[in-house]
């Protein structure tokens, strides 16, 4: 019977790992036409060309091995704002049984 609490903990961990969340909060004024998600760039440094910030991006609960899926989810959520790029400002991994999860924060940008 001592195995049951461990199985419940394992099941809860696996369920929480599989639910990635990407939130984009609009911070800019006005409206910009949506862009194609396939054309939204994922950047690690601020671009040198002029831009305006459209919103903030927060990503949580992404399985460690799914970085590409995380980037695609960011693109899909930023494109309706009219973003041309998303700059990842900080990111990390929360270690856990089975590999852990990724988190990231950033900003959605539109080039001028």
**Does the CA dihedral 61-45-72-105 come out positive or negative?**
positive
pTM: 0.81
Tell me how far CA of residue 74 lies from CA of 18, 39, 68, 104, in angstroms: 16, 12, 10, 10
**81-106 confidence digits (pLDDT tens):** 999 999 999 999 999 988 899 999 99
User: Could you give the domains of the chain?
Assistant: 3-111 (3.30.110.70)
Mean pLDDT score, 37-63: 98
């Amino acid at each position: 019977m001592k195995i049951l609490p461990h199985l419940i903990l394992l099941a809860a961990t696996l369920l929480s790992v599989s639910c990635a969340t990407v939130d984009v909060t609009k911070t800019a004024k006005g409206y910009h036409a949506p862009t194609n998600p396939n054309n939204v760039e994922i950047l690690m440094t601020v671009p040198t060309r002029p831009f305006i910030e459209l919103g903030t991006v927060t990503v949580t609960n992404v399985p460690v091995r799914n970085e590409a899926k995380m980037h695609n989810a960011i693109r899909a959520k930023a494109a309706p704002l009219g973003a041309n790029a998303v700059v990842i400002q900080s990111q990390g991994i929360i270690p856990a049984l089975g590999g852990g999860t990724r988190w990231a924060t950033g900003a959605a940008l539109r080039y001028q």
